Structure 1
Amino acid sequence: MAAPIAYSLIATDLDGTLLRGDDTLSDRSRTALAVAATAGARHLVVTGRPAPRVRPLLDELGGQGLAVCGQGAQLYDAGADRMVWSVTLDRELAETALGKIEAEVGDVYAAVDQDGVDGLTLIEPGYEMPHPTLPAVRVLHRGDLWTQPISKVLLRHPCLTDDELASAARGAVGSLATVTMSGPGTVELQPCGVTKATGLALAAAHLGLTRTTTIAFGDMPNDIPMFDWATHGVAMANAHPELKAVADEVTLSNEEDGIAVVLERLFR
């Protein structure tokens, strides 16, 4: 009789975690995920990217199921190309939060991810995309960012580090929004109370799975709530120190197939 699998749900971040720096998935990682799937485990992408920026990657992964996108603000059904659930960031609150942040740290550069399966990423003058492979539309004025419902705001500061900006933003916005840091040059405002953990919990419930059999992989502080929710959290070697501090283990980097190393141990 086959032994029961240790984990029935594998939750993975994308950038800096499952994907290599060039946005590709290695053959070793692809094989490890396939072996886990054969054993009965489900793979769930849990990413800060909005659904439109995830769709091509899910196609490459062969994913036809659910994906948690937009830092937990979107639950996307890849097979049906539709949102199962989404929550937007109130645009007036977003403008107010930006004003409070700028009162503390001076001018910032902002961008937004629009809601929906075809939502655009809009960037104001001065904002530079930290991930150059992701498409964005430059607008002329900040006011142009608010023309359609949004899932989050992305911030950059000309002088402050990501850690400094995130800390200042948390102090400035209070309960207006949740502040996260999801990668180099990526500090974000999202709806208050929304995290990767809330999205992952919702997706797991849809799949009939629980936190007790969930293993999660990540690399940035925005993955901390996901680690808190899952029964086992694995940080990449390239992970932010804050995430490593709460991880149950640390694997190799995303460039060294760190996820595959763990899955090969668990699903032999």
Structure 2
Amino acid sequence: MDRTAYSLVATDLDGTLLRGDDTVSDRSLAALARVAGAGARHLVVTGRPAPRVRPLLDRLGCTGLAVCGQGAQVYDAGAHRMLWSVTLDRELAETALGKIEAEVGQVHAAVDQDGVDGLTLIEPDYLMPHPTLPAVRVERRAQLWSTPISKVLLRHPELTDDELAATARAVVGSLATVTMSGPGTVELQPCGITKATGLALAAEHLGLERRRTIAFGDMPNDIPMFQWAAHGVAMAGAHPELKAVADEVTTTNEDDGVAVVLERIFGTS
């Protein structure tokens, strides 16, 4: 594969670039350094909101753009500001949540607040899928809607993620976009907003083309990004829905699957 074919490398974080302990391996860091050395750009494209990504961007040495919040935020790490962001209407979110609960019974909810310093607020019975990420527990659901939000996160005590996501899509309609971004992570985000919309905005700002973009991911929320990019690479442990649309499958995130492909494209020295 010609290393000049790609000028933009877009990587998901959880289950993709990150190992299970939230670290990036030395091999992956070296591969990303070779991407930069070849004149290409690396963009993080993640479901995590900007405040939950900032420490990791610092570790990666990223001072440019990152696509956060499932595409609802394009964050400038160097300037510590949002280049672009869109919020989920709180009344629509509350209505969507009510429609879902009318079908499946009580769900446990959380929200990511908008902004570079927004908090993650969680209901009393909501369990964070990533216990390492900070969250503030509130006493009542009404407190989730206290300030503008970028998305709602949902968990059900009995249904699988696939079952919950399927029901949510069936009843929410145009109130919000439903995504599944990882184990225990079904989300509602602004209607029409996906990782692809955020990635397209960031690429346009940087003067980069979709036909020269390679993307890496592991969950159904990465499907729009794969459809936008020229080449989509799913991790070995990826959700079957993503593997079905991927151009290739690499090794797992624990086995440096991103680096394996980047080394093939950009070389090892």
TM over 0.5, shorter chain: yes
4+ runs of 1 displaced by more than 4 Å? none
Residue of structure 2 in register with 1:238 after alignment:
237
Q: Is the 8 A contact 1:5 1:40 kept in 2?
A: no
Residue of structure 1 in register with 2:162 after alignment:
163
Q: Is the 8 A contact 2:3 2:265 kept in 1?
A: no
Aligned residues: CA RMSD? 0.7
Residue of structure 2 in register with 1:186 after alignment:
185
SS at match of 1:256: coil
In 2, Cα distance between the equivalents of 1:207 and 1:237?
A: 30
Residue of structure 2 in register with 1:85 after alignment:
84
Deviation at 1:238, TM superposition (A): 0.8
Q: Is the 8 A contact 1:17 1:217 kept in 2?
A: yes
Residue of structure 2 in register with 1:28 after alignment:
27
Residue of structure 2 in register with 1:134 after alignment:
133
Q: Is the 8 A contact 2:3 2:266 kept in 1?
A: no
In 1, Cα distance between the equivalents of 2:86 and 2:173?
A: 19
Q: What pairs with 1:44-83 in structure 2 (closer than 5 Å)?
A: 44-83=43-82
SS at match of 1:155: strand
The answer to which of 3-12 and 182-191 deviates more is: 3-12
Write the deviation string for residues 127-180 of structure 1: whole angstroms up to 9, x where unpaired.
000110000000000000000000000000000000000000000100000000
Residue of structure 1 in register with 2:171 after alignment:
172
Residue of structure 1 in register with 2:194 after alignment:
195
Write the deviation string for residues 61-114 of structure 1: whole angstroms up to 9, x where unpaired.
000000000000000000000000000000000000000000011000000000
Letter in 1 for 2:113: Q
In 2, Cα distance between the equivalents of 1:211 and 1:4?
A: 15
Deviation at 1:4, TM superposition (A): 6.4
Letter in 1 for 2:55: P
Please report the TM-score for the alignment, with normalisation by the length of structure 1.
Answer: 0.99
Distance 1:260 1:103, change over 3 A: same
In 2, Cα distance between the equivalents of 1:37 and 1:258?
A: 18
Instruction: Give the unaligned 5+ runs of structure 1.
Output: none
In 2, Cα distance between the equivalents of 1:172 and 1:133?
A: 32
Q: Is the 8 A contact 2:9 2:40 kept in 1?
A: yes
In 1, Cα distance between the equivalents of 2:122 and 2:115?
A: 17
